[in-house]
Each structure stands twice: as C-alpha cells, then as structure tokens.
Amino acid sequence: MNLRGHHLLCLLGYSGHGYSPSFINKMEHLAPIYRKVDLDFEIFVNEHTDEICKHCPAMERNNCTTFERVDYEIRELDRRINEKLQVRPGFYYSKKTIFRRIRENIEPDDLDVLCKGCKWLSYGVCKAAIRKLKEETKDEITT
C-alpha cells in the first residue's frame, strides 16, 4: 500500500463516510484489508498524495484544490502523525510495525491533537478504532 501519514490512522476508523462515491469505494476496498491484524504487508509512507487521495474530488496535481490552507493543514496532519509513529515519508514499513507503533505511541485522546481539524474526528470512530486495535493486539501478545 502507498499511504500518507494520516491515512495510517484513517483506515482504522473508516466508517462509510467520504467525499465522493469513488473515495468511498476506495476506502471500502482498502479498510478491511488494512484492519486485518494478522495480515502483514509493506506500506510505503508517502509525503503527499497517495492511492486514497486520488479518489478525492478536491485533488488536483497532488494538492487539495479547495483552499491552499486546507492542503497545508492536511500536510501538517501527516507530519504530526508521522512524528508520533516515528515513520519517515519515502520509506517502507511493515503493517505490523505501523500497528505496533500505533498501539505503543497513540492513545485515543491523542487524536484530539494529532487529528485537529479533521471533519471526521467528531464521529468518534477513530478513537474507537484505536481502542479496538489495542485490545486485539493485546490479546495477540498475551496468547
């Protein structure tokens, strides 16, 4: 998978909402694959647009066309999440490594700062997804 920083978390919390039918279809295809705790694969952390962004109606030439400020805020969102997960754009990480870092470095309430400005944060699904990941992996570690 080719993902930018914030999508490393968004795919966990995705709950059927989106910007367009194409965007929703892409998320509904990727989210179940990404969420399988026991499935491992390589993820390329992209600095800009990724395979999900291409399906957003506001994307044009690797930038959000709604407002320059929005594009900047999305890149800041990526930066904060990359920093918290200790991942660098331009590198590959196993999904198991990403999940371990989410489990070890992110608490559900951290999303209030990490994802500040995200229109989906108020739905609470991302915080619930972080809790669920921590429970699933805790069970996996103790058995």
pLDDT beyond 50 at 142: no
> What is the average pLDDT across 114-132?
92
Confidence at residue 68, expressed as pLDDT on a 0 to 100 scale: 63
CA distance to 24, 29, 55, 71, 79, per residue, from 20 (Å): 6, 14, 8, 18, 25
Identity (one letter) of the amino acid at 69? R
Confidence at residue 32, expressed as pLDDT on a 0 to 100 scale: 96
Structural domain containing residue 24: 2-142
What own/partner pairs with CB < 8 Å and gap ≥ 24 does 82-85 have?
Answer: 82/5, 82/45, 84/110, 84/114, 85/5, 85/8
pLDDT tens digits, one per residue of 22-79: 888 889 999 999 999 899 999 999 988 788 877 776 766 666 666 566 778 888 999 9
pLDDT band at 126 (very low <50, low <70, confident <90, very high): very high
Tokens of 48: 């800009």
Q: Are 127 and 10 in contact (CB under 8 A)?
A: no
In the chain, pLDDT over 70 holds for what percent of residues?
A: 86
Confidence at residue 141, expressed as pLDDT on a 0 to 100 scale: 46
Confidence at residue 47, expressed as pLDDT on a 0 to 100 scale: 86
Tokens of 101: 């870092």
pTM of the model as a whole = 0.87
Confidence at residue 69, expressed as pLDDT on a 0 to 100 scale: 66
Burial, 34: exposed, middle or buried (Cβ in 10 Å; 0-12, 13-18, 19+)?
Answer: buried
Residue 55: φ, ψ to 5°: -100, 5
Number of domains in the chain: 1
DSSP secondary structure letters along 57-80: TTEETTEESS-HHHHHHHHHHHHH
CA distance to 29, 50, 51, 108, 114, per residue, from 125 (Å): 18, 22, 22, 10, 15
